[in-house]
């Protein structure tokens, strides 16, 4: 008797549940049904979750629920059988071998079905997909970086190393460490020109004094100029290149090239630099003890232009390191890295290199600026200081 009463109550409850769920799926809200028939919202939510496979407006029967569940289960089993028949030879292989075939079949099967059939943990496979996206982004960034490195290297005529390439990339908003840039350059077969440099010699003259020796510091442009002559051999001929540099900005003020390292060679360059720069009367010219710089003709120019002459000590090329470094750079980046077919080609490309050196070549000692950029910044800052001193508007 008690069993009959329980069965009757259960039948009434099921019929009521069915009636209320049909009302819910017909369009009535859950809140309205719970308030109208005094059913706890949590209880009614449990009924909805129990019969979630049904959409609103569908006919509700418990038999249909069973049929739908069985149909879904059969579909999953059929999918697993299809996957296992297609990939049976990969079942015993490591996961990293299965991943490519799973990626290809992602359009035909769900990730759950693929992982269940091939016995791969879903979290592990999702990690593989995330790492795959990261690797694709890394490869894309690497390709962009390689193109930029190659372009900057070509624009520098093959003279930029990882440090200067990094500085040029930084100006474009691209950041990479020098080690990574070096590795990419090795992969592309790019190497900086590093031929063996020639050792220069200094003459002996004990009467000449070095004005820059005792802690002298340069604070502005056109304060100290440095000069030197270097020799270069081409097709059995010797060419002499004379250069004048500003010690503060590293700007090449003037240069000249000739078959003879005479006084006229250095004199022409000094006069040209003086006319272009128009320095004050406190200019110091520092050179080695070569006879060209200490000749009678040059001393007349010094006197007329109010130039004080300073000499490096005998056998101490390190007393004039800036111009010595420039000569070494000129040889290893330009003279020894080119195959000149004629004297005209040498003169033309030397002019192009000097222009590149002054206007574009990055100097680490100038905070990764070219000499021209550095002087422009310096002039702008000096004008600003003068205006501030005179209380003028900016």
Tell me the CB-side half-sphere exposure of residue 73, using CA atoms within 13 A. Answer: 6
Name every residue whose Cβ is closer than 8 Å to that of residue 220 and which is 6 or more positions away in sequence: 248, 378
Q: Where are the domains of the chain?
A: 2-118, 125-187, 224-384
pLDDT at 23: 81
pLDDT at 55: 47
Which one of 39-48, 95-104, 347-356, 382-391 scores highest in mean pLDDT? 347-356
- pLDDT tier, 60 (very low <50, low <70, confident <90, very high otherwise): very low
pLDDT at 242: 95
Which CB contacts under 8 angstroms, 24+ apart, belong to 155-162?
Answer: 155/360, 156/356, 156/360, 156/361, 157/333, 157/334, 157/337, 157/353, 157/356, 158/192, 158/193, 158/333, 158/337, 159/192, 159/193, 159/329, 159/333, 159/334, 159/361, 160/192, 160/362, 161/192
Tell me which residue of 34, 21, 25, 13 sits closest to 58, measured CA to CA.
25
Ramachandran angles phi, psi of 225, nearest 5°: -110, 150
pLDDT at 73: 67
Tell me which residue of 202, 207, 267, 264 sits closest to 230, measured CA to CA.
202
Write the pLDDT tens digit of every residue in 237-282: 999 999 999 999 999 999 999 999 999 999 999 999 999 999 988 8
Give the mean pLDDT of the chain: 80
The arrangement of secondary structure in 224-384, i.e. its CATH architecture, is 2-Layer Sandwich (3.30)
Helix (H, G, I), strand (E, B) or coil at 208: coil
Residue 195, pLDDT above cutoff 70 = no
Which pTM value belongs to this model?
0.58
Write the pLDDT tens digit of every residue in 35-46: 888 888 888 888
pLDDT at 4: 63
**How far is it between the farthest Cα atoms of the chain?**
139
Hey, what are 361's tokens?
């070549």
CB contact at 8 A, 160 and 153? yes
- pLDDT tier, 27 (very low <50, low <70, confident <90, very high otherwise): confident
């Amino acid at each position: 008797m008690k069993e009959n009463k329980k069965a009757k109550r259960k039948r009434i409850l099921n019929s009521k549940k069915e009636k209320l769920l049909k009302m819910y799926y017909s369009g009535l809200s859950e809140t309205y049904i719970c308030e109208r028939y005094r059913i706890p919202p949590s209880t009614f939510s449990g009924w909805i979750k129990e019969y979630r496979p049904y959409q609103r407006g569908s006919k509700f029967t418990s038999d249909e629920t069973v049929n739908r569940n069985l149909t879904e289960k059969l579909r999953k089993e059929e999918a697993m059988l299809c996957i296992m028949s297609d990939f049976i030879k990969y079942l015993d292989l490591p996961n990293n071998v299965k991943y490519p075939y799973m990626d290809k079949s992602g359009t035909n099967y769900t990730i759950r079905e693929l992982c269940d059939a091939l016995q791969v943990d879903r979290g592990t496979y999702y990690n593989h997909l995330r790492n795959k996206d990261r690797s694709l982004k890394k490869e894309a960034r690497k390709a962009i970086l390689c193109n930029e490195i190659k372009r900057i290297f070509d624009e520098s005529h093959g003279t930029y190393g990882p440090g200067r390439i990094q500085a040029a990339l930084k100006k474009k908003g691209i950041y990479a460490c020098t080690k990574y840039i070096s590795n990419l350059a090795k992969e592309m077969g790019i190497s900086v020109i590093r031929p063996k440099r020639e050792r220069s010699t200094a003459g002996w003259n004990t009467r000449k004094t070095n004005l820059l020796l005792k802690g002298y510091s340069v604070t502005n442009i056109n304060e100290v100029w440095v000069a030197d002559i270097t020799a270069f051999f081409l097709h059995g001929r010797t060419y002499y290149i004379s250069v004048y540099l500003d010690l503060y900005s590293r700007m090449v003020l003037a240069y000249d090239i000739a078959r003879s390292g005479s006084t006229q060679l250095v004199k022409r360059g000094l006069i040209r630099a003086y006319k272009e720069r128009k320095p004050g009367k406190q200019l110091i010219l520092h050179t080695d003890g070569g006879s060209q710089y200490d000749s009678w003709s040059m001393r007349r120019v010094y006197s007329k232009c109010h130039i004080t002459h300073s000499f490096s000590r005998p056998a101490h090329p390190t007393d004039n390191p800036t111009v010595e470094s420039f000569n070494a750079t000129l040889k290893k980046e330009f003279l020894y890295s080119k195959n000149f077919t004629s004297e005209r080609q040498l003169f033309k490309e030397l002019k192009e290199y000097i222009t590149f050196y002054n206007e574009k070549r990055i100097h680490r000692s100038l905070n990764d600026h070219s000499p021209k950029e550095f002087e422009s910044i310096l002039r702008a800052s000096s004008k600003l200081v003068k205006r501030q001193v005179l209380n003028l508007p900016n």
